[in-house]
Structure 1
């Protein structure tokens, strides 16, 4: 497995070198925003998204504490899928109608997002109910 790790690291370093080389050879005045954008992305990820993820994950884990562990995992996965799909769709929803070419964003992404979130909710509910029914029951607690 060590050889695989070495190959992956060397491949990553090689791809990073190709990217830096491309930036240095094709640098234009419009790319000056790139370091600022990258710094903002690091701040947004490390300063906002990671603490928010830990906070929401911990709260969600407490809220679902009465469920069987496998059912809890289904609920948590459904919530994270919902958040991920929403984050991915927000730029498309906000750009709708702003672009000059109507064929660039041809779909109604808000309706598509709502359908997707509905499917995620139904699948999460079904999976959670199946896991609850299959969970081992404690005996001797019926009184």
Structure 2
């Protein structure tokens, strides 16, 4: 119980520090714009897309495996998206020297192949059990 209060107080202190830093740097409106944009993006695009995919997956017999592949693909996309959408070139060319779009596409292919391989192995095992 005490740990919960300590963590809560620490979280409130960190939020206060963040608010002070935002006010000091004069980026309040930029942060507000970013937060509003994040809410609109989540509620207007991401949540309906995830719900629609969930409804489509409900009819699949192997929905658990497909769901796991989509979770991995979505997580990799969230990690790579800021680097793929970064405007212009990096100030230090050695900091981000990779082609992130190409590498993300390769990873999506690996995830799709891995998911397909798991589905194939499970299907073969199921067929062997029947015969």
Structure 1 gaps of 5+ residues are none
Whether 1:99 and 2:90 are equivalent positions in the alignment is: yes
Q: 1:56 aligns with which of 44, 53, 58?
A: 53
Which contiguous aligned blocks of 4+ residues in structure 1 show a shift greater than 6 angstroms? 136-139
CA RMSD of aligned residues (A): 2.9
Match of 1:85 in 2: 76
1:29-61 residue CA offsets vs partner (Å, 9 max, x unmatched): 123321232232223223331122111121133
Query: What are the equivalent positions in structure 2 for 1:69-80 lying under 5 Å apart?
Result: 71-80=62-71
Alpha-carbon distance in structure 1 between the residues aligned to 2:5 and 2:108:
37
TM-score normalised by length of structure 2: 0.74
Task: Tell me the CA shift for residue 88 of structure 1.
Answer: 2.9
Question: What is the TM-score with the length of structure 1 in the denominator?
Answer: 0.69
Residue 112 (str. 1) matches residue 107 (str. 2): no
Point out which structure has higher relative CO (alpha carbons under 8 A, 6+ apart): 1
CA distance in 1, matches of 2:5, 2:118: 38
- Paired with 1:52 and 1:38, the residues of 2 have a C-alpha distance of 20
Gaps of 5+ in 2: none
**SS of the residue 1:95 aligns to:** coil
